[in-house]
Amino acid sequence: MTVLSEMLRNLVSRPATTLYPAEKVPVPAGFRGRVECDDERCIGCSKCSLVCPASAITMVDSPREVEFRGKTMMRKKKPRVAVYRCIRCGLCERHCPADAIHLRSVLSITGTDREEVLA
Amino acid sequence: MTRVVVPIGPQHPALKEPLNFRVIADGERIVELELNLSYSHRGIEKAAEQRDFIRALPLIERVCGICSHSHSTVFSMGIEEIMGVEVPPRAQYIRTVIAELERMHSHMLWLGVAAHEVGFNTLFMWTWRDREAVLDTLEELSGNRIHYNMNEIGGVRVDLSPPQVDAALARIPVLEERMRAYVAMLEDEETMLARFRGVGTLSREDALRYGAVGPTGRGSGVDYDVRRDDPYLVYDEIPWNVVTDTDGDVYGRTKVRIGEIKESLGIVRYCLEHLPDGPIRVAAPKAAPPGEIYSRYEAPRGEVAHFIRTNGTDRVERVDIRTPTLANWTSVVYSLVGRPLADIPVIVAAIDPCLSCTSRITVLNRGEDARGETSPYTGQAGWFP
């Protein structure tokens, strides 16, 4: 009986699946997607690269002046993230003292940049 | 009497993960069964020894794709106990919420798989549709559907905001109504009754003798649940009941699991409504003092246990993982004997097997049976944890 009523309901109701290209699946606010680093905030402390379980973050030379807790300081390095090695655990974001590295709500499992995919 | 050896697996349409049965059958009946496990050994225990606690937790979480929170919670609870770190109440409640949501989505997944194994694909579609609501809640709360990464040593990684709590609470009545529908189906749906009732019977004595855990044991009347009998997190503070059944067959295990989903809904509602204020974590020391601990947890499939030995550094000296599926295999082998071959998929599915979680060891060079395999690392034959 339950099956019959469900069948009749399904005859008149709209599809259960999301009509993808026309309709996007809503992404919640705290979704852990592609890792991005805010260049203006990063102080180059290497903490993100040390906690990364997948060793996806390497520090590269990038000297510049940054503001940190009201003081101007000279940073030497910044992180480079191999987004296809990243397991999106959020540890870099959690341990960043400068609130510079974040997991954005952008999906990170597709891409066309060969260098980035193979990094 | 002719006896035929039927090899099933490691690659087989009825199995979702690699596993090998050597079934000795007399006609349609199973006379004897030999089980070969561990086709997907990944060396997680050894890998965990080489990472500090912060980096080991996401790895431990990936022991299982379904009970991910179970493994990371049991590991962090063990390390916290060795360190003497007291986790704040709010973090304990958040951990419990995620644990029970995980139990719900695991049992719904199981119900779908079990229905699929008996050819009842309508129920499979329904439960997986409802499971999406639970996964959406988990995604909103933690940022991911499966690997939540909520735990860290000393608390949880992120806090729950009031809108998140409200959104999660709003989904509970819908799921409760669906569970009522499933309970009704259990009573009068012929397909389920015909294929679940009297199949894979395991008496209470046999469940105890073969060490069945979780819904497999509780479905045979073994009134044991780590959450009640060795309480962790906040299970001793909140109202809930252990669900047991005396049928002892696949039908009994189904009733236990649906009952547990209903209990989990109650626990999640209670925890979200009574979420205490306060910090979500305390600062834990980097290194743990030397010690040994046997940490236990009731995962959706049964009791999961981590034996952890620390040596005063920031990483474990040894972690030994006992997953519930390993404890349940012997009961499967026992309950399959005497059954027709066609019962293999449903009886195997009834324990909700998770095979790569169970693969803790790989044996190379088994005496006379040796296939001449040697370790890729040392060039010698032997076994590798």
Beta-bridge mates of residue B155? B152, B281
d(C-alpha B51, C-alpha B43), whole Å? 13
CATH number 1.10.645.10 given to B44-327+345-355: yes
CA B115 – CA B127 distance, rounded (Å): 9
**B180-218 pLDDT tens trace:** 888 888 888 888 888 888 888 889 999 999 989 999 999
A91 and B CB contact within 8 Å = yes
H or E element: which one contains A35? strand A35-37
d(CA A74, CA A78): 12
How many Cα atoms sit within 13 Å of B14 on the Cβ side? Answer: 19
E runs forming strands in chain B = 4-8, 20-26, 29-36, 151-152, 155-156, 291-299, 302-310, 316-322, 362-363, 383-384
Q: For residue A45, how many other CB atoms are within 10 A of its CB? A: 19
Q: Which of A32, A34, A51, A95 to mutate to test the interface with B (most CBs of B within 10 A)?
A: A32
Q: Are B183 and B189 in contact (CB under 8 A)?
A: no
- Structure confidence at residue B384 (pLDDT): 47
What pLDDT was estimated at residue B11? Answer: 85
Boundaries of every domain in chain A: 27-118
Per DSSP, the three-state class of B122 is helix
Closest Cβ opposite residue A88 in set B56, B144, B184: B144
Query: Do the Cβ atoms of B51 and A87 come within 8 Å?
Result: no
The Cα B41–Cα B120 span in angstroms is: 32
Sign of the C-alpha dihedral, residues B224, B228, B230, B232?
A: positive
pLDDT for B385: 45
From chain A, the residues in CB contact with B129 under 8 A are: 16
Which residue of chain B comes nearest to A49, CA vs CA? B55
3-state DSSP assignment of residue B109: helix
List per-block mean pLDDT (blocks of 10 residues) for chain A, which spans 119 residues: 80 82 83 89 91 92 88 90 88 91 81 78
Residue in chain B nearest A16 by alpha carbon: B129
Instruction: Decide the pairing of beta strands B151-152 and B29-36.
Output: unpaired
Give the model confidence (pLDDT) of B226-236 as tens digits.
999 999 989 99
Q: Report the C-alpha gap between B383 and B377 in whole angstroms.
A: 12
Q: Distance between CA atoms of B94 and B96, rounded to whole angstroms?
A: 5
Taking an 8 Å Cβ-Cβ cutoff, which residues of chain B contact chain A? 51, 54-59, 122, 126, 129, 136, 139-144, 147, 149, 152, 157-158, 164, 181, 184-185, 189
pLDDT tier for residue B364 given thresholds of 50, 70 and 90: low
Q: What is the pLDDT of residue B42?
A: 86
**Does the beta-carbon distance from A28 to B140 stay under 8 Å?**
yes
Select the more confidently predicted residue: B286 or B367: B286
Please state, rounded to an integer, the average pLDDT across all residues of chain B: 87
Give yes or no for residue B375 having a pLDDT over 50.
no
pLDDT of residue B370: 45
Whole-Å CA distances, A33 to A18, A47, A49, B110, B168: 20, 20, 17, 28, 21
The answer to whether the CB atoms of A94 and B157 lie below 8 A apart is yes
Model pLDDT, residue B355: 83
| Confidence (pLDDT) at B1 | 65
Q: Give CA–CA dist B44/B47, Å, rounded.
A: 5
Query: What pLDDT is stored for residue B244 in this prediction?
Result: 93
- Of residues A90 and B2, the one with the higher pLDDT is A90
Q: What is the predicted ipTM? A: 0.85
The encoded tokens of residue B233 equal: 């997190």
Distance from CA of B150 to the nearest CA of A (A): 9
pLDDT for the residue numbered A24: 80
* Greater pLDDT, B223 or B372: B223
B139 to chain A: which residues are within 8 Å by CB? Answer: 28, 31
Chain B residues in contact with A106 (beta carbon < 8 A): none
**Interatomic CA distance for residues B205 and B214, integer angstroms:** 15
Q: Among residues of chain B, what percentage have pLDDT more than 90?
A: 56
pTM of the model: 0.89
pLDDT above 70 covers what percent of chain B?
93
Mean pLDDT value across residues B30-57: 88
Which pair of tokens denotes residue B331? 């009961």
Separation of alpha carbons B73 and B64, rounded Å: 13
pLDDT tens digit string along B90-143?
Answer: 999 999 999 999 999 999 999 999 888 888 888 899 899 999 999 999 999 998
| CATH code given to domain A27-118 | 3.30.70.3270
* A29: chain B residues, CB-CB within 8 Å: 140
Q: What is the pLDDT of residue B267?
A: 94
Distance (Å, whole) CA B343 – CA B118: 9
Q: What is the model's pLDDT at position B8?
A: 86
In angstroms, what separates the C-alpha of A75 from chain B's closest C-alpha? Answer: 25
Residue given tokens 């180059």 in the structure block:
A44
